[in-house]
């Protein structure tokens, strides 16, 4: 729905410009201009967009384009309650076409949602969760033998060449709290990213981030002279966060329901907590996040750019 509105604006001669309040689509006729913001009526936490936030968009648009420039805000709703905010009544030519697009989207939405769920929209996340759950149960039943078989350790990886541990360690967890925290984050952020990227690209990003995060961790602890066992999905989870950051930077219009400030708070807050805690593998976290960012650019941003 969002993308269709953007395409409609482009057809009508509106060009994307970045502002502090998000993208504004500007049409210039002679010496005059006008701008349109397109947003959702709910924030990532489920709260409604406030009048103050709407006024911030209009204020930012006028700051960029000029105080006399008319600015409209189109608020899209997942529930079909779309709103046009055109205080200066300068966008009459858009009401009909935009309304037609919104009406057609409303008609096909139930069928589309049913089809995507039937196709297994989140099958990669479900698979990853299932493997983590099975191995967590096995580790609880059989104890340390499971960690000895699959957890990562610098000397075993770098000198004994047991490279499989770079992968298997991402599916093992030290206790319930470790498992629960990672799986909640996987389900909340992973399903969101999988829906945007597609299951295959998302799975490659998750797996690649986990492996690279584990490898960076092994090199770090070897350089530090520490022989430490490492396990957990955190490196791959941070890869998901890195992927979301890449989309926020390069494809902001496709991911408006994630607040960049909130995501930055999650990243830096988690890293700060990790540096304050004993036993947290921050090397894997940072390595996974950077790897996820790069893999998202390679697997999705550049690819969709070529397709477009």
Candidates 269, 246, 270; CA nearest to 258 is: 246
pLDDT at 99: 73
Supply the DSSP string of 223-266, one letter for each residue: HTT----B--SHHHHHHHHHHHHHHHHH-GGG-TTS-HHHHHHH
DSSP state, residue 42:
B
> Considering the domain 123-307, what is its CATH architecture?
Up-down Bundle (1.20)
Q: How far is CA 165 from CA 137, 154, 161, 207, 234, in A?
A: 19, 10, 9, 13, 15
Any idea which fold 2-118 has?
Trna Endonuclease; Chain: A, domain 1 (3.40.1350)
pLDDT at 108: 44
Compute mean pLDDT per 10 residues along the chain, 308 residues long, and list them: 77 83 84 84 72 83 86 78 76 73 56 46 92 95 92 94 96 90 88 88 95 94 89 92 87 61 64 58 90 92 58
pTM summary value: 0.61
pLDDT at 61: 84
Domain range list for the chain:
2-118, 123-307
pLDDT at 220: 92
Half-sphere exposure of 33 (CA within 13 A, CB side): 18
pLDDT at 188: 84
Tokens linked to 56: 């911030």
CA–CA distance, 6 with 308 (Å, rounded to integer): 14
pLDDT at 269: 62
Query: From edge to edge, which strands make up the β-sheet containing 15-19?
Result: 15-19, 22-29, 32-40, 71-76, 83-85
pLDDT at 111: 45
């Amino acid at each position: 729905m969002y993308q269709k509105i953007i395409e409609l604006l482009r057809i009508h001669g509106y060009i994307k410009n970045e502002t502090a309040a998000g993208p504004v689509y500007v049409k210039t006729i002679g010496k005059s201009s006008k701008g349109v913001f397109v947003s959702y009526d709910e924030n990532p936490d489920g709260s409604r967009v406030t009048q103050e936030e709407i006024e911030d968009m209009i204020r930012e648009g006028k700051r960029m384009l000029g105080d006399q420039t008319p600015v409209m805000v189109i608020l899209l709703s997942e529930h079909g309650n779309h709103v046009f905010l055109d205080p200066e009544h300068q966008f009459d030519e858009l009401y009909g076409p935009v309304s037609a697009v919104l009406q057609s989207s409303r008609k096909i939405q139930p069928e589309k949602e049913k089809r995507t769920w039937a196709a297994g929209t989140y099958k990669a996340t479900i698979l990853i969760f299932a493997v983590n759950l099975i191995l967590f149960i096995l580790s609880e039943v059989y104890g340390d033998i499971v960690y000895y078989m699959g957890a990562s350790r610098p000397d075993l990886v770098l000198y004994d060449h047991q490279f499989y541990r770079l992968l298997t360690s991402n599916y093992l967890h030290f206790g319930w709290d470790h498992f629960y925290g990672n799986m909640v984050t996987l389900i909340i952020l992973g399903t969101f990213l999988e829906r945007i990227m597609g299951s295959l690209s998302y799975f490659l990003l998750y797996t690649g981030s986990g492996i690279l995060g584990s490898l960076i961790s092994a090199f770090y602890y070897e350089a530090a002279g520490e022989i430490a066992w490492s396990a957990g999905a955190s490196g791959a989870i941070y890869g998901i966060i890195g992927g979301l950051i890449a989309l926020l930077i390069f494809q902001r219009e496709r991911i408006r329901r994630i607040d960049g400030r909130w995501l930055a708070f999650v990243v830096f807050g988690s890293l700060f907590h990790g540096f304050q805690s004993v036993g947290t593998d921050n090397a894997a976290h940072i390595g996974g996040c950077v790897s996820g960012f790069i893999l998202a650019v390679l697997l999705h941003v550049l690819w969709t750019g070529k397709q477009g």
